[in-house]
Amino acid sequence: MTSRPAAWYSPRAMLSRRAAWTIGAAKAVTAALVALGVFAGLPARWWPVDVPAAVLVALEAAAAFGLFSGARWAANAARFGAAVALALGALAVSCLAVTATWLSGVYGAVGRGGAIVLALVAALVLPYLVVLPAAQLLWLGSSGRRAASGRS
């Protein structure tokens, strides 16, 4: 059995209260926007969209709760939630871009209207499911490295 470094369970490995509340608020907003966008905004239910969205909402909400309450597991949950959000966001933006390109190429002028709608949806997904999780991973990773090295 391997032992974990001391920084993993030390109080210094915890996020500052301001950082925890800021990241927690961002995660709560992301969970609310994904839930609203998928479960209220989409007119039809389709399990390949609903299941990942439900998992992402649950992960982001749990991480937000942990960060707000100051739980020891909160930073790890926030990292995991950010990684899942980044992966799902990159997949969603890629699928939207490929579909928009295909619509525009196959259907010509009529398909360009659909392509514009898909491009707008991709532009709405990009900040919350790609840029924000990437920034959270960078911040959470750098705070973990600072704690491990003993710097604040």
End-to-end CA distance of the chain: 30
Q: Which residue has the higher pLDDT, 52 or 152?
A: 52
pLDDT in tens, 81-128: 999 999 999 999 999 999 999 999 999 888 999 999 999 999 999 999
What number is the average pLDDT over the span 23-33? 96
Under 8 Å between Cβ of 49 and 42:
yes
Q: Is the pLDDT of residue 7 over 60?
A: no
Q: Is the pLDDT of residue 3 over 50?
A: yes
The pLDDT value recorded for residue 12 is: 44
In the chain, what are the domain boundaries? 12-149
> What is the Cα–Cα distance from 146 to 105, expressed in whole angstroms?
49
The region of weakest confidence among 67-71, 105-109, 144-148 is 144-148
Whether this prediction's pTM lies above 0.85 is answered by: no
Tokens 């982001």 locate to 60
The region of weakest confidence among 14-18, 74-78, 89-93, 105-109 is 14-18
What number is the average pLDDT over the span 42-63? 96
User: What is the average pLDDT value for the chain, to the nearest integer?
Assistant: 87
The pLDDT value recorded for residue 141 is: 84
